[in-house]
Structure 1
Amino acid sequence: MENLFGPKLTSQEGEVDTVTALKDKVVGLYFSAHWCPPCRSFTPELAKTYKLLTEQGKNFEIVFVSSDNDDSGFTEYFNSMPWKALPYSERDRKASLSKKFKVSGIPTLVILDPSGAIITKDGRTQIDGDPEGANFPWVPPEVKDVLGTEFMSKDGKTVTLSELEGHHIAVYFSAHWCPPCKTFTPNLAKVYTTLKDKGVKLEIIFASSDKNEEEFDEYYKEMPWLALPYVDRERKLKLSQKFGVTGIPCLVVLGPDLEIVNPNARNRVSNDLEAAEFPWGAKPLINLDEDPSNINDYVSVLFVKGECMDEGAAKAMMDKLSASGQEYINKAKISKEDPEFMFFFSNSASGKVTSSVIDAMEGAAQADRPVLVVLDIPEGGKYSVVETDNPTPDMIDTVLEDYKAGKLTMKQLN
């Protein structure tokens, strides 16, 4: 907890020791601000739950992490709160916490266990659904508990989860009214058929966001896989919450053990219609022009090969980047957190996505020379170009360590 918040927190009585205040407690990180109307609505409800739990002797504490515009706004808002707060002056630590937990909007309530491990990033929904705190500390259900055991097939028969033993299972969140869904569904059907023809054990389950059962029936006619019965709205809602689905189409891929292989494989499938990369697990090195979806959410290393780089030198760079990417994926699996870095490449500065990124960096690249750059889009869109015309593999570890140590000069993307 001290690593997260620093040695001291603010309370209504003054400064308190972080370790003492949070020892052995479940901790809610409350990202909020006085200027935010949804925050001002949620804060009193959260305070009621907090009071109930603390009066019951539950080991629960909340730390307010302020997005207020100034110290006076923070103080006015914090005076209405019964819990602790990160000192307003700790702006760098606030930014680090927002980045670590990928906070993209407020109010956000992240629940941590006493060791600092994430219980849920969606504490707000948990409080809304359980204001009495009966389910404290709101440990999310396992996938098997929300997926259910029965699904409907195209011929109206029931298929059980036990019949899918040994299969990868993909849950497809989609709707007839959604234009991107209508475009993606035929491609997904092609991939599904290709894999089934190869004897691959895969099943897809359609989780409909259609507005009524008639639309569901019409749309499901286009699909060759299983579905949740439309009337089972509660199961669909719980699955959306479990997988953090905020938009459609979304394809969540699960392994035979029901562990999440990919929380949204839509782009991977769209760029792999021959299904050569099934089951589309985490890639250590991603082609930015094919799949830029993660670059907004992670600190990223981007290598642009350029037109004049020797192929052998380019391959050595790619091999090292891929190895580094796999190392951070492996670390993330052990810690059960997101990877600290993502790694991208592009064969040309004129690529459809790469060109936009390059254009946003002042004098960062010319089409004929390679570029190695650290992108920190979550931190307000920052970047740092490695000043060399000849990037080499041994630079990569140094760049990563310099970034972690705050030694890189970060500029603002235009």
Structure 2
Amino acid sequence: MSELLVDLLGERLVNGEKAELDVQALGSGLALVGLYFGCSLNAPCRQFNSSLAEFYSKFKKCSEHKDQLEIVFISSDQDQKHWQDFLQEMQWPALPFKDRHKKMKLWNKYKVTSIPSLVFIDATTGKVVCRNGLLVVRDDPKGLEFPWGPKPFAEVVAGPLLWNNRQTAGSSSLEGSYVGVYFSAHWCPPCRSLTRVLVESYRKVKESGHKFEIVFVSADRSEDSFTQYFSEMPWLAVPYTDEARRSRLNRLYGIQGIPTLILLDTEGHMITRQGRVEVLNDLECRLFPWHPRPVLELSESNAVQLHEGPCLVLFVDAEEEGELEPAKELIQPIAEKIMAKYKAKDEETPLLFFVAGEDDMSDSLRDYTNLPEAAPLLTILDMSARAKYVKDVEEITPAVVEQFVTDFLAEKLKPEPI
């Protein structure tokens, strides 16, 4: 346990009294670590910090599992005094202010896209137990459901579901179907745009003979808004009044923003968290049920994934449709190898793979990251760390790509600032 935590967190943590804490001394009975990502200048973080302090205090005083949990603060503060003042409000330790490299590794490893964020991980394996700890603090203030591990979808969704004509269906009606769990709200413009596309995709998939259902999990601010929005949808929904079930589904999939479309196979296992991107990139639904592809062609609809962690992008001189295929074929074996390796370890792939041609999207990305105009150009872009790694060579071969990826994952490459 201690070796893994030292690898993740380093050898020393600090507390509000500026005292150092040996990571190996966190305790042999530790089962769960909550990684709390936040910033002192962020108002939602300050608000959540108060709730977390109350939760933590009760848990440490009253829970029979009090020695099995620890929280560690991972700050994105830029000012050390602000960080130190905020830390004095906390009863738990923090990563040292200057250890920015470790902070960015944790942001990327656990796919943190917003703050505040609380990710519970297994202290022995480092694997995610619960992505949305904010909802744990809100919904289980006494910590009675510790350790908040994932439950099967069928168990979490169990209960009556609605059609928009107010007729009901049991959640058992989803058995044997592919399922899209759709987190959305009427007040969110990107949600409404996706819903219009999704209605057509839903119809096409059903007409092709696939067993496919969607369950809408609303984030609307009132029941009237829910009812109005749901009237546009030909699929099922969790009743708006069942806030507990909606919250459990948000917690199960660690929802950090909307719209999010989670796609499940017929056994209830996740196919992809990127249903939104898959639907927008496959309007004819030829690739249903949208298993993750090793290599993506960069487009406006999938560019959002560039912000979800490090991404390898191979820029090539290609303007016409089909001209990107040789580039995809070049890096696909390496991408497949990386995906298989981390899937076998039940971990998320640490690197996404893209090819980019000559178009406005690629030009914008080059401009934003200050990349040279060369093509071919092999890069790894880490937007959250504002870092880039560039391999500018005359010929890009599979061996060049594989060595570049290997060196990046081994932290042998020197980053340039974006």
- Give TM-score, length-normalised by structure 2: 0.85
Of 36, 56, 60, the match for 1:54: 60
Q: Give 2:390's aligned residue.
A: 385
How many residues end up aligned between the 2 structures?
A: 406
Alignment RMSD, CA only?
3.0
| Cα distance between partner residues in 1 of 2:103 and 2:317 | 37
Seen in structure 2, the aligned counterparts of structure 1 residues 266 and 28 have a Cα distance that, compared at 3 Å, is closer
Residue 4 in structure 1 maps to residue 8 in structure 2: yes
Asked if 2 retains the 8 angstrom alpha-carbon contact of 1:175 and 1:216, the reply is yes
Q: Give 1:135's aligned residue.
A: 145
Q: Give 1:188's aligned residue.
A: 198
Q: Give 2:20's aligned residue.
A: 15
Q: Give 1:95's aligned residue.
A: 104
The sequence identity of aligned pairs, in percent, is 31
| Cα distance between partner residues in 2 of 1:222 and 1:38 | 32
**Stretch deviating more after TM superposition (153-162 or 18-27):** 153-162
Seen in structure 2, the aligned counterparts of structure 1 residues 214 and 306 have a Cα distance that, compared at 3 Å, is same
| Cα distance between partner residues in 1 of 2:167 and 2:394 | 63
Q: Give 2:349's aligned residue.
A: 339
Q: Give 1:355's aligned residue.
A: 363
Residue 371 in structure 1 maps to residue 374 in structure 2: no
SS of residue matched to 2:20? strand
| Cα distance between partner residues in 1 of 2:270 and 2:338 | 17
1:8-407 to structure 2, matched below 5 A, reads 8-11=12-15, 12=17, 14-25=19-30, 26-56=32-62, 57-115=66-124, 116-153=126-163, 156-210=166-220, 212-213=222-223, 215-289=225-299, 290-307=301-318, 317-346=327-356, 348-349=357-358, 351-362=359-370, 364-366=372-374, 369-380=375-386, 382-407=387-412
| Cα distance between partner residues in 1 of 2:283 and 2:106 | 38
| Cα distance between partner residues in 1 of 2:51 and 2:164 | 45
Q: CA deviation at 1:28?
A: 2.0
| Cα distance between partner residues in 1 of 2:241 and 2:285 | 32
Asked if 1 retains the 8 angstrom alpha-carbon contact of 2:313 and 2:355, the reply is yes
| 1:248-294 superposed Cα distances (whole Å, 9 cap, x missing partner) | 44322111111121224123212212211111121110111252221
Structure 2: runs of 5+ lacking an equivalent: none
Asked if 1 retains the 8 angstrom alpha-carbon contact of 2:121 and 2:129, the reply is yes
AA in 1 matched with 2:383: I
AA in 2 matched with 1:204: I
| Cα distance between partner residues in 1 of 2:187 and 2:97 | 45
Q: CA deviation at 1:202?
A: 0.8
**Stretch deviating more after TM superposition (190-199 or 74-83):** 74-83
Asked if 2 retains the 8 angstrom alpha-carbon contact of 1:108 and 1:123, the reply is yes
AA in 1 matched with 2:393: T
Asked if 2 retains the 8 angstrom alpha-carbon contact of 1:66 and 1:74, the reply is yes
> Which of structures 1 and 2 has the bigger CA Rg?
1
Seen in structure 2, the aligned counterparts of structure 1 residues 105 and 331 have a Cα distance that, compared at 3 Å, is same
| Cα distance between partner residues in 2 of 1:294 and 1:306 | 22
SS of residue matched to 2:305? coil
| Cα distance between partner residues in 1 of 2:232 and 2:370 | 48
Seen in structure 2, the aligned counterparts of structure 1 residues 24 and 198 have a Cα distance that, compared at 3 Å, is same
SS of residue matched to 2:36? strand
Q: CA deviation at 1:112?
A: 1.9
Structure 1: runs of 5+ lacking an equivalent: none
| Cα distance between partner residues in 2 of 1:13 and 1:222 | 55
AA in 1 matched with 2:73: F
- Give TM-score, length-normalised by structure 1: 0.86
Q: CA deviation at 1:43?
A: 3.4
AA in 1 matched with 2:13: L
Asked if 2 retains the 8 angstrom alpha-carbon contact of 1:306 and 1:371, the reply is no
**Stretch deviating more after TM superposition (146-155 or 292-301):** 146-155
AA in 2 matched with 1:2: V
Seen in structure 2, the aligned counterparts of structure 1 residues 308 and 276 have a Cα distance that, compared at 3 Å, is closer
Seen in structure 2, the aligned counterparts of structure 1 residues 70 and 182 have a Cα distance that, compared at 3 Å, is closer
Q: CA deviation at 1:4?
A: 0.7
